[in-house]
Amino acid sequence: MNSLLMLLSVPIALLSILSFCFLHPTYFLGWKMLMSSQQVADLVVRNGVIYTGDDSLPFAESMAVANGRVLRVGNHSYVQELASYGTEVLDLGGKVVVPGFIDSHVHFIPGGLQMMQVDLRGVNKKDEFIRRIKDAVQSTKQGSWILGGGWNNDLWGGDLPAASWIDDFTPFNPVWLLRTDGHMGLANSVALMLCGVTNTTDDPSEGTIRRTPDGEPTGLLIESAMSLVMSQIPEDSVDDRREALLRASNLALSRGVTTVVDVGRYYPGTSANLSWEDFSDVYQWADSMSKMKVRVCLFFPMETWSRLVDVINKIGHALSEWVYIGGVKAFADGSLGSNSALFYEPYVDDPNNYGQQVIESDVLFNMTLESDLSGLQVAIHAIGDKANDLILNIYDSVTSTNGWRDRRFRIEHAQHLAMGTPDRFGKQRLVASMQPDHLLDDADSASKKLGKDRADNGSYLFRSVLENNALVAFGSDWPVADINPLSGIKTAMRRQPPTWENAWIPSECISLDDAIKAYTISAARASFLDNDLGSLSPGKLADFVILSTHSWEEFAESASASITATYISGVRAYP
C-alpha cells in the first residue's frame, strides 16, 4: 500500500511543480536555464594520449573545448557528455597531444627579418661563407646594404672572419653580418669607411674593435662597438617588420610553438627604441587588425622601465589574449662564442681576457631596484659564471631592500655556473631561462675556450638547477638557434651533439616530463602566464599540439617526434 501511494505521489508532485511554474513564469525560466546551463563543446578531441601538464590529471583520453578554452578533460564518456549537434569531433587515432609549446626567449622580429636576409646558419666552411655573400651581391643593386647573420666560426675551425674575406667582390656595397649569438658582427671595408671606423677610432665603452697587429680594424666589432655600424644601417620599414612577424609566426606554428617570450631587437649597441617601435608599429597594429597568429609576451629594455610602467598603468598587463606585457630586460655580459661572457678565470684561448661586463654594477642595481619597486618583472642576460653570480647578488640585494613578493626574477641563459650557484637559484626562487640547443653549438668549443674541467663542471646544468627547486623555462634564443622545442627537448634529455657518440655531461640529462614542462607549464609560470597557458586544464586557453608518435613510452625512450598539427584556442593554426 505504501509503495502504491509513493508511485501516485510522483506525478502529483510533478503536476504541482509545473502548475506553480506556469503560474509563476519567472520560476519556470529559471528552471529552464538551470536545465540548459551545462555548456556545449565546440570541439571534442578524443582517442588519443593527451598529456595535460596538470599534475592533478597528467593524462587523459579526451578533451572538450568551448569558446577557445578547455572545458573538460578525462575519459571519452565523461567528455562526450558535452558534445551536441554541431560539435566538431577530432579523432586523434591514438596520437600524443601536448600543451602548446612556449618558447621562453626569442628575438621574434629580428628572426623574421633575418629570414629575408643572407642566411649563414650552419655554414661550416670559409668557402661557403664567401660564396653566399657573392650570391647576395649578384641580386643587390650597387649602394644598397647587404645584411645577413647566423655565422658561427666554431663550425669551420674557429678562425674569425675578416673584411678581407669579402672586400674584393663587395666594392660597391656596405656589408654587415651578425654572428649567431648577436654579440659580434662583421663589416666589410666599405661599411667601415661609410661609418667612419678607422685605425684612430677608439673602442667604445664595453665594446671592442678587433684590429690587426698594425692597428687596422679587421671588420669585427664586439658588443657595444657594433653600434658604430648598426646605427648607420637604414631602418627596416614598417611593412618589412610586419612581414617579419608573419614569417616568424608561421615558422613558430610549424614547430608547435603557440606562445613566445619576445625580448625584442635589443642587443648591446642597439637603440632601446627599437623594441618600442615594434610594439606600436607591429604588435599593436597586428592585434587591432586581428592579424596575430602566435601569442607573445613582450620584454622591453630595462633602461626604459618608467615608460613601461606608464603603459601598464594605462592598459594593464595584456592588450588581449594575444599580446601580453612581460617586463624589462638587461644585459650583464656577452657570449661564449664571442669571448665576451664574463668569467672568474680567463679564456684558455685568450689568456688576458675574462670577458666583458657590459654595464656598470651600480647602474644595473639601481635600474633593477626601481623596476622591481614599480612591480615589473626583471630578466637579465648572464652567460659566464661571474656574470650569473653578479646578477644573483643584485637580485638578493633588491629583494632585501624592497621586501618579499612573488617577483619571479629571471636570469636569461644561466649557461655557465660556478660551484654552488645552482643551489642559489632555488633558494632565491629564481627563473632559469635556458636554451638547450645552444649546448649543441658549444659542446666542442667550450673546452677550447674554458678548459675541459671548467666546461664539464659548469655548463648547461639543467638537472642541477631543477634539483635545487628553481623554475626552469626553456627557449631557443631564435634566431641564434632554431626555434624548435622538439629538438630542445631531445637535447635536454640526451645532451648529445651530432658528431658525438656519447652525451656531454650525462649527469645533467633530464626526463621527458621535466623537459616538456620547461616548454609548457614552467615556461608559463616564468612569465606569469600560468592562469591562461601552459597546461590543458579546464578554464585555460586551448592551445595544443598533435605529435606524430602514438606512444608516450616510445616518445620518452626515443626523444623523437614531429609536429602533426598545431591548435590555438581550439582552432587549427598549422598546417
Give 480 or 415, the one with higher predicted confidence: 415
pLDDT of res. 268 = 73
Cβ contacts of residue 409 below 8 Å, gap of 6+?
A: 377, 378, 379, 395, 399, 428, 429, 430, 431
Q: What is the pTM of this model?
A: 0.88
pLDDT of res. 20 = 37
Judged against a pLDDT cut of 60, whether residue 36 lies above it is answered with no
pLDDT of res. 27 = 31
Block residue for cell numbers 602514438 = 550
DSSP at 154: G
Cβ contacts of residue 441 below 8 Å, gap of 6+?
A: 152, 154, 180, 337, 481
Decide the pairing of beta strands 207-211 and 410-413: unpaired
Q: Which pLDDT band, with edges at 50, 70 and 90, does 10 fall under? A: very low
User: pLDDT tens digits for 529-568?
Assistant: 999 999 999 999 999 999 999 999 999 999 999 999 999 9
Backbone phi, psi, residue 513, to 5°:
-60, -45
* Complete DSSP assignment for 433-456: EE-TTHHHHHHHHHHHHH-HHHHH
Does the CA dihedral 365-367-372-377 come out positive or negative? negative
User: pLDDT tens digits for 135-185?
Assistant: 999 989 999 999 998 899 988 988 999 999 999 999 999 999 999 888 899
For 500, the 3-state DSSP assignment is coil
Region 272-297 average pLDDT:
97
pLDDT of res. 420 = 95
Query: Is the bond preceding residue 479 a cis peptide, omega within 30 degrees?
Result: yes
Judged against a pLDDT cut of 70, whether residue 19 lies above it is answered with no
> What H or E segment, with its residue span, contains residue 526?
helix 521-526
pLDDT of res. 173 = 95
Q: What is the distance between the alpha carbons of residues 109 and 293, in angstroms, rounded to a whole number? A: 14
25 burial (CB, 10 Å; 0-12 / 13-18 / 19+) is exposed
Region 256-281 average pLDDT:
92
Cβ contacts of residue 322 below 8 Å, gap of 6+?
A: 287, 292, 295, 296
pLDDT of res. 390 = 98
User: pLDDT tens digits for 416-453?
Assistant: 999 999 999 999 999 999 999 999 989 989 999 999 99
Q: Chain-wide mean pLDDT for the chain?
A: 91
Q: What is the distance between the alpha carbons of residues 78 and 316, in angstroms, rounded to a whole number? A: 38
Block residue for cell numbers 647578488 = 393
